[in-house]
Every structure is written in C-alpha cells, then in structure tokens.
Amino acid sequence: MGDKNFWNAAFFDKETSYLHFPTFHGELSADISFLFKTTASSGVFLENLGIKDFIRIELSSSTRVVFSFDVGNGPLEVHVESMVPLNDNRWHRVRAERNVKEASLRLDGLPVATQEAPADGHLHLQLNSQLFIGGTASRQKGFRGCIRSLQLNGVPLDLEERAEITPGVQPGCPGHCSSYGSLCQNQGRCVERASGFHCDCDLSAHTGAFCRTELSASFQSGTSLRYTFKEPYELSRNSSALPSSIYSELTLRGENVSLTFRTNQSPALLLYVSSYYTQYLALLINKHDTLEVRYKLDSSRDAEVLKSKVKSLADGELHTVTLRRLTDSVSLQIDQNPREDFNLTSDGEFNGIKSLVLGRVHDSEDLDPDLSRLASLGFSGCLSVVRFNSISPLKAALLHPDSSPVTISGPLLQSSCGSSAAANPYAAENTHHLSDHSGVVASGQPLVNAIRTDSALIGGVIAVVIFVIVTVLAITARFLYRRKETYRNQEVKGVKQEDSQDFHFNNQTDPQNVSSENPKEYFI
C-alpha cells in the first residue's frame, strides 16, 4: 500500500484542469507534502478557501515556491527560492507546515524557511469550500504537470481515482523514465508505467529491480554450460532457401563480449563459441597467466592469436574482460587497464555460429590439439555476468534452465563469487594452478578454508605457549610466597620465646608503640 501511495499521481495537462476533494480540516495545524514535476514556470498546486481565511501552495516563478494562508490576522507568506529552475521536468519535493506558533516550508534539500505567527490574534483556520488540487477557485493560474504522493496531515489523497472521473486530468504520470531512467543500469531498459516505472533486464546480464544484481556461478572442472543458437532446421523450415544460405542468419560481422571471472587455474578456457563451419572464437588464460583471444574465421588457415599485455590474471582476484570486434578490428579491455587494439587478417565474417560453451567443451574434435586439450580440462573458478551480443547464457542457465536453449552437465551452483566483496569465492570447488601442482589443495577443501585452518593452528599454538608461561609463573610465585611465609613464622616464634615475660605487658601498651618496637609482630 505504501508503494501505491508513493506513486499515486495525476497529470494536469491544462492550466484550467483541477481535481477537487472535501474541505481540508486543519484548524490548528496543517501538514501538507507532495512531489511535483513540470515544465511550466508557475501555477497553483493546492488551494482551499473560507469566507475570509484561505490556504494555498503555489509555484510563483520557475525558482520559487510559496506557502500562504490567512487565519484572520491578514495574509502570511513563507517562500523558498531555488538556485536552479524547478520547471526542469524532474521531481521536486514540497512540505508545508503550519501551527499556532509558526509556519514552515521545505523544498527538496534546501534550508527550511519559517515565519512566526502573530503573538496575539486568531488561531483557527476556518475553511468551507472544496479543496482544489492543481487549480484554484480564485481564478489564478492553475498548475500544469504532475503531482504525486500528496498527503494532508498524514493522510494520502487518491489522486488517480479522482483523475479517472475528471475531464482534463489523467491518472498516473508520464515521463518517469526521464527522471529515473538512469537507475536502470547495466543495459537495463526503463519502461513507463502509470504508477512509476519498471526496469526491463531482459537485455542485461544482470537482474534485480534496477538490473544491478550480478548473476554468478561457481564452476568445477566437470561443469559444462552450453547455449545453442538456432538449429539449422529452424531456419530452413517453411523456407525454400538453398542449403548454402541456411546459416546466413547466423553470420556475424562483429561481437560484443563481456564477462567477469576469478580463478587460480592456468591455462584455462573462459569462453568458446563454435560454428557449423570450422570457425571459432576462444577466450582463454594461457600458461603465462595472460589473456588470449583466438579467432579462426578462415577454415583454411590457422587461428589468429591476440595476446593481452596484462599479466597475473590467474591470481584468484576478480577481473572483468570486454571484447569488441567489428569486421577485422578488435579491441580488448581488462579491468581498468588501457584498451588494447588489434587487427585481424581474415575477412571478418563469423559464419553459422552454432553454440557458446562455458566450462568444459565436450565436442572439441574440430579444434587444434593445443586448444582441444585446454577445452577438455574444464574451468575451476567463478564466472559472472557473461554476455555475448544480446545473449546472457549464464543468466539463462541460472534463472530459466528449463525454458532456455541451455544444456548443463556437471555441478553449476549460483553464488555471490562475482562480487568484489565475496567472502568465499571458492566455497565449492577444488581450485588449483594446472601448471604448478605444488600448491594443490586437497579435493573438497576450499583454498580460503585452508588459509583459515593454518591461521587457527598458529593461533592455537600461541595460546598454548602463553598458557604454559602464565602457569609456570603462577607456580613459582606461590612457591616463593610460601617459603617467605615459613621464614616469617619461624622468626616470630623465636621472638615469642625470647620475650615471653613481656608479652602481656606489650599487649596492654599503646599499639603505636608496639608497632615501632616490634613491626614484625604487629604485621603478623
């Protein structure tokens, strides 16, 4: 209900249009709040009249909002001046308050303006006409634009319901995307609604209300995610096209690829796109921990290898890769490093694309031996927000595994490993460096947990050592104290034997004298 009240809006397309409601009862106190959006330079937002009393809020100029009223002491006015135009077709918030002591007006985040009420005078605001919204009964210029989320003394007014039965006023407010469209991120598309807007994330690799939620998955060496593009029979069905032109719809003259990953594995295949011809695109980390892009767009020639200069990518940290190709021009960017540009020598057409694979590639017989060996190893680590042109294969696999053209084999677990704040990016996989087995963690034991285990062991050893030292010191101190106690007892016993005839006398003397004469005895 709160969301409905927040977006409850009405659009006034003429200066003469308005909504009317029952008389506003704010005799001793009034609290009015709303949001407005307009391209007009002036207009009355709200007005309610009495025989002599009135209350009004208006946009008096493109930079000024005025709150005025009269309770019988003469008109009183409070205004706020903005440094920027308010008719910028963006939402602005107004809050006007009045009590027996003062009146105040707030506009957006500007300092509040106040006006004290007369010390002696009338207190009650006496109104008897209808409440006008977006217009006025006093023939002043009405408001043209949108008003929403209107509340009087904490009670919301249903502007949409009244607008549906009022000529010249439309329920809802067009143009939300002009104000809030920037909230739809990561290629999310803003869609207008009568009450607010919606971010369409279909073309985004992200999800969530504003297309900000990363979709990440943990891959193990046996995991394979295959996204199949259109099958040949789908293209040729109900068509008289020649076999040679069946794949024409699947011919690309450019790609836009992006993904985020983290892994300790090298070499490792990040993404592989095959074709019905012996062409392919492969994105991989080589044995030197650097990124390689391999394009084979001419089946009669070897693949062209484009090597990045950015190093140490198999370090378990989060990295983002963006690859763009247009015919023979290729650009590559890794994280915030400078963009790297390359040129292909082939004609630039990727013909008859067949499928996209993340993880292990099972049908790698058409690949050259080096890439085929790499493709069969699989991928251990994290992949996130994978995008190939308008396709998000990882998102399709995680959110729509049954209805999308995705085939999954092996474990694929959705996780937050693609977040820079992920606490445990390798919670499910055995992550290791293929070129150096000296650092292999036992199967099933996460690398992060292994580090935590070592830290716990070291901490335990330190705690034991401290405990032993404290115990030895305590025993030694107790031994020395008891030995001193024995010595004192023996000394006192000797004193008693020597002065036995004076003992009763000493007990009857002044304690201070006893203390000065025989301090050891007094201490005991």
Per residue in 237-278, pLDDT (tens digit) is 444 443 433 344 578 889 999 999 999 999 999 999 999 888
Kindly report the CATH number that applies to the domain delimited by 175-212.
2.10.25.10
Mean pLDDT of 149-161: 92
**pLDDT score at 123:** 80
Per residue in 414-452, pLDDT (tens digit) is 988 887 655 443 433 333 333 333 333 333 333 233 333
Cβ burial 342-351 (10 Å sphere, 16+ → b, else e): bebebebebb
Q: Which CATH number fits domain 4-171: 1.20.1050.10, 3.40.640.10, 2.60.120.200, 3.40.50.980?
A: 2.60.120.200
Residue ranges of domains in the chain? 4-171, 175-212, 215-231+250-414
Same fold, 4-171 and 175-212: no
The helix/strand/coil state of 497 is helix
Answer yes or no: are the C-beta atoms of 271 and 356 closer than 8 Å. Answer: yes
Compute the chain's Rg from CA coordinates. 40
The yes-or-no verdict on residue 135 having pLDDT over 50 is yes
Q: What are the φ/ψ torsions at residue 470 (nearest 5 degrees)?
A: -60, -40
**pLDDT score at 421:** 57
The yes-or-no verdict on residue 373 having pLDDT over 50 is yes
Cα end-to-end span (Å), the chain: 81
The yes-or-no verdict on residue 454 having pLDDT over 50 is no
For residue 69 the two structure tokens come to 């009223």
**Distance between CA atoms of residues 297 and 205, nearest Å:** 26
Mean pLDDT of 323-328: 94
The helix/strand/coil state of 394 is helix
**pLDDT score at 277:** 85
Predicted TM-score (pTM) of this structure: 0.54
Q: Which of 114-123, 384-393, 493-502 has the highest mean pLDDT?
A: 384-393
**Distance between CA atoms of residues 115 and 78, nearest Å:** 6
Mean pLDDT of 132-136: 90
Per residue in 277-297, pLDDT (tens digit) is 889 999 999 999 999 999 999
**Distance between CA atoms of residues 296 and 274, nearest Å:** 10
Q: Residues of the chain with pLDDT > 70: what percent?
A: 77
**pLDDT score at 241:** 42
Query: Which residue has better confidence, 516 or 316?
Result: 316
**pLDDT score at 217:** 94
**pLDDT score at 118:** 81
**pLDDT score at 243:** 40
Least confident of 3-17, 40-54, 152-166: 3-17
Least confident of 356-360, 407-411, 461-465: 461-465
Mean pLDDT of 369-385: 90
In the block, which residue shows the tokens 């590639």? 361
Q: Is the dihedral of CA 438, 442, 447, 453 positive or negative?
A: negative
**pLDDT score at 194:** 62
**pLDDT score at 418:** 80
Query: Which residue has better confidence, 463 or 338?
Result: 338
Q: Which CATH number fits domain 215-231+250-414: 3.30.300.20, 2.60.40.10, 2.30.30.90, 2.60.120.200?
A: 2.60.120.200
Listed in sequence order, the residues at least 6 apart from 42 whose beta carbon sits closer than 8 Å to its beta carbon are: 58, 59, 60, 61, 62, 141
Q: How many helices (H) and strands (E) does the chain have?
A: 10, 30
